[in-house]
Amino acid sequence: MLANYLIGLREGLEAALIVTILIAYVVKINRRDVLPRIWLGVGLAVLLALGIGALLTFGTYGLSFTAQETIGGVLSIVATGLVTWMVFWMLRTARDLKGHLQGNIDKHLVGAGLGLVLVAFLAVGREGIETALFIWAAVQATGATTMPLIGAALGIVTAIGLGWLIYSGMLKINLSKFFTYTGAILIIVAAGVLSYGVHDLQEAGILPGLHALAFNVSAAVPPDSWYGTLLKGALNFSPATTWLEMFAWLAYAAPTLTVFITKSRLGRPGARQLSVAPRARVPAH
């Protein structure tokens, strides 16, 4: 649940920041007439994410065990790739997210501003697709449905609340530190998703070594215990891990986390805070 809360919070906050920046900017330049276009793009993006989630959930019914495990393994690896890309993209973009989005708005404000539908749809849709795919992979890994969905929903609700506070000017967030800390945690979570994807492909017979265990601590960490469930839900930890799963975890987590920490601004002074509340215009004299 913790991992899904984090992905819901992070992805939801990214989407909330994008929406608040778009709205604040068009309000600031007195183009409230294009606000419905922005909300239309956001609505379409949400529908797309829900549609992908439904397709992933119900589209595999009736397939053979091998086909289900193959699809689960491949999509877990894809989810890991998307989360990794998202983490590094936001690490780079958070420093000038506001300027990047305002530049896109300026290019699409011609006429009725219909291009803003596409701007909002693409910006929010990317976050929605990543969220749907990652949560689906987490559900497959844990075998539970309710808790991951509740965790993600709580994260998204929290993100919406933070977005409103930022827009109203009541809250400022140090984006560099926020996305650095959450990004580091998500890399560890993504390593677990990748490891589980490898296990799925082993179950399907595509990858070898299903019965070659690197360690088995099931006696000390029973899968059905509260702490076993916590480790599984938070980090996708498996008490019985094959050599190939462990190698995939280490081969991904070690270099990815090293590069991420090296490129981040963690602990550096001068990190920027975000305030997107539209400022009142002072009439010229």
Average pLDDT of 46-56? 87
At residue 183, does pLDDT exceed 50? yes
- How far, in whole angstroms, is CA 220 from its chain's centroid? 32
What are the phi and psi torsion angles at 275 (to 5°)? Answer: -140, 120
Beta bridge partners, 160, equal none
pTM value is 0.74
Under DSSP, is residue 216 helix (H, G, I), strand (E, B) or coil?
strand
pLDDT, greater one: 283 or 206: 206
Distances (CA, A) of 192 to 96, 146, 234, 251: 31, 20, 9, 12
Average pLDDT of 129-152? 76
For 109-149, strand residue ranges (E) read none
Average pLDDT of 199-208? 93
Cα gap 140→194, rounded to integer Å: 12
- Do 38 and 181 touch, CB atoms closer than 8 A? no
Reported as a pLDDT band with limits 50, 70 and 90, residue 5 is confident
Cα gap 134→147, rounded to integer Å: 14
Average pLDDT of 214-233? 79
| Token code pair at residue 206 | 């595509």
Per-residue model confidence as pLDDT tens digits over 16-27: 888 888 888 888
At residue 202, does pLDDT exceed 90? yes
pLDDT, greater one: 140 or 162: 162
Reported as a pLDDT band with limits 50, 70 and 90, residue 94 is low
- Do 242 and 156 touch, CB atoms closer than 8 A? no
User: What's the DSSP call for residue 267?
Assistant: T
**Domain residue spans in the chain?**
2-267
- Do 196 and 231 touch, CB atoms closer than 8 A? no
Please compute Rg for the chain using Cα positions. Answer: 21
Reported as a pLDDT band with limits 50, 70 and 90, residue 255 is very high
Average pLDDT of 57-62? 75
Cα gap 68→73, rounded to integer Å: 9
Measuring CA to CA, which residue among 65, 58, 49 is closest to residue 7? 49
- Length of the chain as a residue count: 285
